[in-house]
Structure formats: structure tokens, C-alpha cells
Amino acid sequence: MDSRDDIGRGEGESAFHENFQAEMEAERIAEALVFASSQPVSEAFIADRLPRNFNVRGVMLRLKEQYAPRGVNLVQVDDAWAFRTAADLSFVIRRDDNEVKKLSRAALEVLAIIAYHQPVTRAEIEDIRGVQTSRGTLDVLMEAGWVRFRGRRRTPGRPVTLGTTRDFLDHFGLEELRDLPGLEELKGAGLLSGRIPANFNIPSPLMSDELTEDEDPITQMDLEELGLLAPGGASED
């Protein structure tokens, strides 16, 4: 056999070994970054810390598969990743004193409307519900970190538009908004009456965080007006 074949084979094996080692190191780095964070870690953040030319999504999907049968799963939350207790083991670590306070029926209704209809204004929420929405209800959802101000509608009065957050997806175990239950799923879970109107439908939620054509971005002046910043730009305690 030609010695050049042996050399070529040796170089090929060496390159394969180097690529394998590089992939393993990339997975270890990504794993460490997610493990060390208390919040979901974005793919952009991970990409900045991996060697160049690595497919971050590919790295994360391989890790997700590795953790799938374990007690801790790697889960996708929008464009970010987090470690979470496997769903079938959540009862093991649940404690009564750590239970999240249950939302009122009004808060659940408002949260559902925002999730499916975002971007949506308070007036539009009230129009859908048929009743007024108290500021306290929105405050509860915002304090939970599930709802945020998106922008301001380009209509008279420039009402604020509302949308859900990444924490909303994370808390309810959703990878993205398209994972929200549809009409048939809601019926099956008993969350909708069997006597709903024939023309009733569940809207498809907006899949992007980018502002729509009829929205303006929130400015510092807007934040002051909404009471989120003290005059002069300092955050309120």
C-alpha cells in the first residue's frame, strides 16, 4: 500500500479527532453557561462565547437530546435555553410555601387575551372582555414578569400596547407563542364552553417581538408618564 494512503488516512483521522474534541468543548461551554444562569440564556450570548463557525442551534439541540431522559431537561424558551426539572418530576420538589399565588379569574382572562391578541391595548382588552380592567389586575401580571409594555399605538391618545415576556413562556413551559393551545385543545381541557358561538375563533398570536407598523417604541418620557421612571430618568425604588 502506498505510504501516502497511510499519511492521508492519518491526517483524516487527526482532523476528525480535532473536530470531535472541538464539538465536545463547545457543548461543555454552552452547558456551563446555561447551568450558571438563573435566567434563560440567549443563543446570541452563547454564540459570542463559542469558537467561531459553530452552529449554536445544533450544539443546543444535541445537548437537549442528551438531557431528555434525565431528571433535569434542557428546554428552549423563545430564542434562549434553560435547565428545568423534568415535567414528570415536578411534584417531587414542589412545596406548599413555594407555590405561586393563584391568579384571579380576571387576571387569567386578561393574560390570555394579551397572549393571543398581542400587541393589544387596555381598551381593546376591555372590549373583548366586555368589562373594565382594573390597574391592579395588570399590575399583578407585570409584577409576575409575564406582561410588558411593548410600545404606543399610532392612534389618538397613543395608548400603550401590551405583550407577553420570555418569563411568561418559561413559566408555562412554552418554547414559543405558537405552542399556545388552540381552540380544540382549550375545549378538551374544559376551558371553553361547548356552547360557544359557531364563528368563535382563537387568533394566531404575533410571533415576533418587533414593533408592528402601527406601534412606536417606548421612550424615556413615556416611562416617566407611565410611572416607571422618576422624573429625570432615575428608576423608582
| 33: pLDDT strictly greater than 90 | yes
Largest Cα span, the chain: 86
What is the model's pLDDT at position 172?
A: 85
More confident residue, 224 or 97: 224
Confidence label for 66 from pLDDT (cuts 50, 70 and 90): very high
* Neighbouring C-beta atoms of residue 173, cutoff 10 Å: 12
Between 149-158, 174-183, 199-208, the lowest mean confidence (pLDDT) is in 199-208
- Secondary structure element (H or E) that encloses residue 67, with its range: helix 56-67
| pLDDT bracket for residue 233 (50, 70, 90) | very low
Select the more confidently predicted residue: 78 or 96: 78
Mean pLDDT of 150-170: 90
How long a stretch of residues is the chain?
Answer: 237
Q: How big is the CA angle at 183 (ends 178 and 189), to the nearest 5 degrees?
A: 100
Q: Is the pLDDT of residue 190 over 70?
A: no
Distance CA(174)–CA(168), nearest Å, equals 8
Q: What is the tens place of the pLDDT at every residue in 129-143?
A: 888 888 889 999 999
Residue 229 pairs in a beta bridge with 235
Report all structural domains of the chain as residue ranges with CATH numbers, in order of start. Answer: 3-91 (1.10.10.10), 102-225 (1.10.10.10)
For the residues 169-182, what does the mean pLDDT come to?
A: 85
Q: What pTM, to 2 d.p., does this model score?
A: 0.64
